[in-house]
Structure 1
Amino acid sequence: MPLWKRNLFVCWFGMFVTGVGLSQIAPVLPLYIEHLGVDSTSLVAQLSGLAFGITYIVSAVFSPIWGHAADRIGRKPMLLRASLGMSVVIFCMGFAANVYVLIVLRLLQGAITGYSTACTTLIATQTDKEHAGFALGTLSTASVAGSLLGPTIGGLIEDQGGLRAVFYITGALVFVAFVTTLLFVKESFVREDKKAMSMREVWRSVPEKSLTVTLSVTFLIITLGLYTIEPIITVYVAQLTRDASHVALIAGLAFSASGLANIIAAPQLGRLSDKVGAHKVMLFALIAAGIFYIPQAFVTSPWQLMALRFLLGLTLGGLNPSVNTLVKKITPGALTGRVFGFTISAGYLGVFGGAVLGGQIAGWFGIRYVFFVTSALLLLNAVWVYFKVYRRLGGNEIIRKDEVHEN
């Protein structure tokens, strides 16, 4: 097996379980906070929002820092640091004595994270140009699938083993990711003995500033659109069905349907981007995603919603890989980790912003308007991408630039 394929397989597993680790707390968080002694319903809601969101906000801050460290000392050390640290912190959440200890551990989890940044940088720099789209497309399915399936997995573990078992089992899985990374990931990293650059100097060294900003904002919008439905999907499913006994399960399946479709579509669309250009795949996937959000506001049964979420996931499978492929192509190898750190930070902000935005829109205007607003954001982003990315790269000039930055 080629080295890049072996690294891809190990990194995919690691990103999947760390994605689960970041998101599995969502369905059990209010219950766990109640279990830790909080009786007030309003206080439970406030503390749940704080405990959920703080991990993503802190991750957004630390992701560029760990990206910089990956460029300086290597990507594999960052993978080992993040996976071991997260496994210990998540496992310790199962022993939390009160809600404040839990919140501190969630904050620490956000600070330790960086596995996704290091994985993306490793695969981007260690994979040849011909297979970059496929490799990054496959890798992108891991974190998306982990994040989308995490709530369902957490709910199932809680149902079978109790609240604390969610943290014990997830911590153990992340430790398995640490062991497999230690044993099987190989990296040919040559440290450049140069003076460390400040963030301002890094930005000055980025050759395609406008494209980099456009791609980071696009990544934020993609993630934001994916998570606007998370706070309201259970309520929406309850409105669509008369059987209240399985609402949580059906809502989890509806939310996870897009993750399953993403796993199926992303590698294939990654291959397509290698052939026709990532900028083309990204534009048409943005348009299709924006369109598929609209009929979700008019469904009359949860199964219709589930089918449309699956179709949406097929289009989203062309977005993350395209962004990562373009970032790789326009970024010098010595800066890859730091630039990927910025784009992944944008994704973390999108998760937090999407959950907040979806809840606010549903509260003020109604659940169906969440789909309309999300569609509008994606279609507006598609217009921006058309002028800033598609028209500029229509002649595949990015391939010629990439040859200058190839490692």
Structure 2
Amino acid sequence: MTGTIAVIRGFGPVFAILFGLQFISMGAMEMSGPFWPLRIEELSSSGGIFALAGIGVYVGPMLGVSLTSSLWGRMGDRYGNRLMMVRALAGLAITQILVSFAQDVWLILLLRFLQGCCAGYIAPAQAYGIQITGGRNRGVLLTWLQVATNVGSLGGAFLGGLILDASSFTTINLAAGFICAVCAIAAWAILPRPVAVVVAQAQAQAQAQAQASRTDRALVRQDHVAKGRATAPVWSLLTLMGMMLASRMVLQVPFALYMVEVFRAPHWVTGFSYGLLALGFVVAAPLWAQFFNDRSASFILGWMILIAGGCALLTSLAGLTRSIEYFAVIYLLWGSLLGGTTPILVALISAATADGRQGSVLGTAQSWQQIASVAGIAIGAGTTQIFGLASVFPLVSLLYAVSLFTAVGLWLCARPRLPVGDSL
């Protein structure tokens, strides 16, 4: 952990600004996250509309992000990732304020889709961080930015529950919109423009330090080509990341309904329990990042097998318990395992990509995450409608078991070396 703290200090004050902006803005957006089904149920005139809109309210912004993230990533590579961050925050602010006044289900769905199209903040923030640091310790950097998102999720969900108990859903969205507007102004005023010369020098230094590793990898690549094996498993990593994320997102729509039906929980308990997943992630993710830093792909994928198995076991137990205390502990442990999944796999993908294409590849990764999230949400909502709320946790466990076998296949075919840290 001491080494991780030293690395973070080495990133400088810009990292603290990035972390704060991501924490605050993503927390603001997550204030309404677990409570959308309650709002949609309130506005729906029939069970069929509720079933469709309950999925669409989550799927809409994800579809918007998946359709535009690659475009915004290329725009960031061309015009600057800082500008794309400001654009995304402004888009979130405007659409969140508009959706707070919407009283029609279909208008809400349209605005949520437009919100996704205008958003795409995380990918340019990651690319900007890599650009500022010259690609040093990208695994740790990307993990801590993901930690910021999950810290925001923890605080945002809990705060949203408190606001909903005391006021209204409209208040939640208005507050989130104004917070994102303040973040957009702060990003424009505080974040420095990357100086081309400084960035070029940092990149040149990183490239010089990694030249020997590149040469070794080129020899390994040639050997693998001769053997007919994959040499750049970016799409394989995207697939595994998407499967594990889809497994997690199955619970997005039914979670609040499950908490009410099974535990009779008030809103603040629902928000708190929802945030425990993020808390586990926050606590464990930096430890996973340090543990995996400079490790080979085969080593990491071997651990992905164990993590997927652990997630399958924990979600099975969560579906069996009727104790809110045990459920909360299980959710916390599940979140701690998730800290070793998405940010680590994204770091592998980033490390396998040239510096000048970071915005593009991270945008593609974000699009892929949104597609996986849409699939998970659709599967979860459909299963709930057909088999009831009792089926959701067994389904999640089954999907994690599928991810486990996928990780086994990738581990068997993995390249001997693909470091997470400064190797590229």
Which residues of 2 match residues 5-404 of structure 1 at below 5 A? 5-29=12-36, 32=39, 39-40=45-46, 42-96=48-102, 98-127=104-133, 131-147=137-153, 150-188=156-194, 190=196, 211-238=233-260, 240-241=262-263, 244=264, 246-277=265-296, 279-280=299-300, 281-389=303-411, 392-393=414-415, 395=416, 397-399=417-419, 403=423
Cα distance, 1:18–1:57 mapped onto 2, change above 3 Å: farther
Instruction: Give the aligned length.
Output: 384
Deviates more, 1:4-13 or 1:266-275: 4-13
Provide the rounded CA distance (Å) in 2 between the counterparts of 1:58 and 1:229. 21
Residue in structure 2 matched with residue 204 of structure 1 by the alignment: none
Provide the rounded CA distance (Å) in 2 between the counterparts of 1:361 and 1:229. 11
Stretches of structure 2 lacking an aligned partner (at least 5 in a row)? 1-7, 200-220, 222-229
Give, in angstroms, the shift of residue 22 of structure 1: 4.4
Cα distance, 1:381–1:330 mapped onto 2, change above 3 Å: same
Counterpart amino acid of residue 8 in structure 1: F
Residue in structure 1 matched with residue 207 of structure 2 by the alignment: none
Stretches of structure 1 lacking an aligned partner (at least 5 in a row)? 193-206
Cα distance, 1:30–1:325 mapped onto 2, change above 3 Å: closer
Give, in angstroms, the shift of residue 39 of structure 1: 4.3
Deviates more, 1:273-282 or 1:306-315: 273-282
Provide the rounded CA distance (Å) in 2 between the counterparts of 1:299 and 1:32. 27
Provide the rounded CA distance (Å) in 1 between the counterparts of 2:25 and 2:361. 21
Provide the rounded CA distance (Å) in 1 between the counterparts of 2:323 and 2:173. 34
Contact kept, 8 Å, 1:90 with 1:167, in 2: the verdict is yes
DSSP 3-state at the match of 2:102: coil
Q: Deviations over 1:42-80 (max 9, x none)?
A: 434533433332111111111111111111111101011
Give, in angstroms, the shift of residue 111 of structure 1: 0.8
Taking only the aligned residue pairs, the percentage that are identical comes to 20
Provide the rounded CA distance (Å) in 2 between the counterparts of 1:14 and 1:265. 21
Give, in angstroms, the shift of residue 316 of structure 1: 0.5
DSSP 3-state at the match of 1:398: coil
Provide the rounded CA distance (Å) in 1 between the counterparts of 2:39 and 2:408. 46
Cα distance, 1:28–1:305 mapped onto 2, change above 3 Å: closer
Provide the rounded CA distance (Å) in 2 between the counterparts of 1:252 and 1:32. 15
- TM-score normalised per structure 1: 0.82
Query: For the aligned residues, what is the CA RMSD?
Result: 3.2
DSSP 3-state at the match of 2:32: coil
Q: Deviations over 1:123-148 (max 9, x none)?
A: 23333555322221111123344456
Provide the rounded CA distance (Å) in 1 between the counterparts of 2:231 and 2:119. 26
Counterpart amino acid of residue 288 in structure 1: G
Cα distance, 1:209–1:252 mapped onto 2, change above 3 Å: farther
Contact kept, 8 Å, 1:10 with 1:180, in 2: the verdict is no
Provide the rounded CA distance (Å) in 1 between the counterparts of 2:338 and 2:375. 18
Stretches (4+) displaced over 6 A:
none
